[in-house]
Amino acid sequence: MKSRGLKVVDRGRQRALDHRGARADKSPKVAAEHIYKSGTICEGCGAVYSLKTWRRSGRRTAAALDSGASTGRCPACLQVGEGRAYGRVILRGAWLKEHEDEVRHRIANVEARARHTQPERRVIEIARGKEGLEIMSTSQKLAHRLVREIEKAFGGRSAYRWSDTDGSLTATWAHE
């Protein structure tokens, strides 16, 4: 089958090589606002910036502070301080009222697991609203992961809506 002079195999290769509209830097906009030196330690959470990424610190923080490493605030701490969220999760349904403690426990577990490997992914706040529970997160990927894990654990249906303007995600989940 040919289309516009290309074989089916070649069209896939051409799409893979076409980078129109793709950003070279995939880091969040908050990270682009500040320039960090390697070895910078976050004053808020203790994460260490090395190899162009924020990592969990562990024992290195105390040793780095003793050696006179620079300090600053990581993008996640800046986002939490400003209340700027790129992920919004809305959980709905009558079932949720009866099982809210279980759902909150699951959210805490998913966030802890994500934060262990990627300290920039955090839940900013969990609020009870008129629609149900509303969870704000620092990244759209964490919001997606939260809804996906809740759907796997408790069933129900989820829907995702990405914003074209700032790349944020609004994910909704409802138990049937």
List pLDDT tens digits, range 20-41.
655 555 565 655 666 778 888 8
**What pLDDT, on the 0 to 100 scale, is given for residue 116?**
86
The pTM for the full model equals 0.75
Query: How many angstroms separate the Cα of 165 from the Cα of each of 86, 118, 168?
Result: 11, 25, 8
Domain boundaries, the chain: 26-79, 85-174
The region that residue 83 occupies, defined by phi over 0 for left and psi between -120 and 50 for alpha, beta otherwise, is left
